[in-house]
Structure 1
Amino acid sequence: MTHPRTVLLGVERLGEIGAFVKEMDFNPLSVNFTFAIQVMSGMKKSNWERKMKVFERLGWSEEDFLSAFKVQPKCMLVSEEKIVKPSILAKCPNLLLYSLEKRTIPRCLLLRILIKKGLIKEEPGLFWMLNICEKQFLEKTLIKYQTLFLKY
């Protein structure tokens, strides 16, 4: 169990959260329904509303927000500083979960080197570059062009 505090909620509070999540049209049999309940149970209503307002200030409609929350309920757990370009996040809310220092910046730097050296003709899309797993990313970039990197 990753969130034992959910079990410790009172029956009434858990029922309120379940009803609220169900109103958002989550499938009660899906894993995201469970994640949504976990997120909601670990967050005060005031924090929820504050984060919703951050998304609204960025131009998100309620529909955009609910769409992102349905795809990735944990997007509400990230800090306000990680909430950036709304059009990108609405399409792929998982981007909020990635570390800038450990994933985004290193991958961008590596791809920039490969593009400058002419090894990659087309710049890959942001979603592809950040969403593929570490093993696939390394196979398609670093391992594929390892002889170039061994020279330096």
Structure 2
Amino acid sequence: MSEKTIEEKVNVYKRLGFSEVDIWAIFKKWPFFLKFSKKKIILMFETLKKCGLVEEEVISVLKTRPQCIRASEQKILDSIETFLNLGFSRDEFKIMVKRYPQCTAYTAETVRKKFEVLVKKMNWPLEDVVLIPAVLGYSLEKRIVPRTNVIKALMSKGLIGSENPPISSVLVCTDQEFLKRYVMKHDKLVPKLMAIFIRARVS
């Protein structure tokens, strides 16, 4: 791009409320940030406002995840509809976008499949997903299903009580930490629990 074109793009972001420091920090993170047309930049800014975000929050989201700019308006509007249809409120969707902007990039099918396991099968409340929306980014096959299967097996034997452990305790940790926390301490059941854990990962 010519210097003039770059300057024009920078000025668009400035008019939207970004500081020059913000703009160049984002550029270092993702240079394509300056590739988009003025129309596309403004459209994305307005689309994120439709998620319920105010100007400062949109700026914060784009500083965290500038790749959001390349998403189509329709994709984000479809994402809003997907979450609302699953029972999330607009305020909850707004919180998730602020905490984990990537959630707007997932297909309706991906979100629904993970919702079925996390909320329907495991009975974790919607609020847990809202507080830690990054769980929607975890692999269903490699992380979510193997771990939740182990937890279900432990609960069925009354080894961890009748209530689910926190979603953060189960999903937001390495495999080694999970196994230490929920498998290795149950001496006689270790082979069976490991079989459940591994079978789910390879099936």
For the structure 1 residues 69 and 13, does the alpha-carbon distance in structure 2 shift closer, same or farther, using more than 3 Å as the test? same
Separation (CA, whole Å) in 1 of partners of 2:38 and 2:101 = 22
**Separation of aligned partners in 1, 2:32 and 2:187:** 47
2:144 is the counterpart of 1:113: no
**Residue 58 and residue 149 in structure 1: after superposition, are their counterparts in 2 closer, same or farther (change >3 A)?**
closer
Residues 8-53 of structure 1: CA deviation (Å, up to 9, x unaligned)? 223564466457577353285x6x44234322x1211111112212
- Of stretches 106-115 and 43-52 in structure 1, the one that deviates more from structure 2 is 106-115
Does 2:66 correspond to 1:37?
yes
**Greater gyration radius:** 2
Q: Does the aligned pair in 1 maintain the 2:33–2:67 contact within 8 Å?
A: yes
Could you tell me how far apart the structure 2 residues matched to 1:24 and 1:57 are?
Answer: 26
Count of residues paired in the alignment: 149
Give secondary structure in 2 for the equivalent of 1:120. coil
CA RMSD of aligned residues (A): 3.3
- Indicate yes or no: 2:159 matched with 1:131: no
- Aligned partner of 2:20 in structure 1 is none
Paired residues of 1:35 and 1:74 also in contact (CA < 8 A):
no
What 5-or-longer segments of structure 2 have no aligned partner? Answer: 1-27, 120-124, 196-203
- TM-superposed deviation, 1:67: 1.0
CA distance in 1: counterparts of 2:140 and 2:191, whole angstroms: 26
Identity percentage of aligned residues: 23
The structure where helix makes up a greater share of residues is: 2
Q: 1:14 to 1:112 in 2, by over 3 A?
A: same
Which residue of structure 1 lines up, in the alignment, with residue 108 of structure 2?
80
> What CA deviation, in whole Å up to 9, does each residue of 1:101-134 have, x standing for no partner?
1111111222233344554345423342122332
Give the Cα separation in 2 of the matches to 1:46 and 1:149: 48
Q: Show the counterpart of 1:143.
A: 184
Match of 1:97 in 2: 137
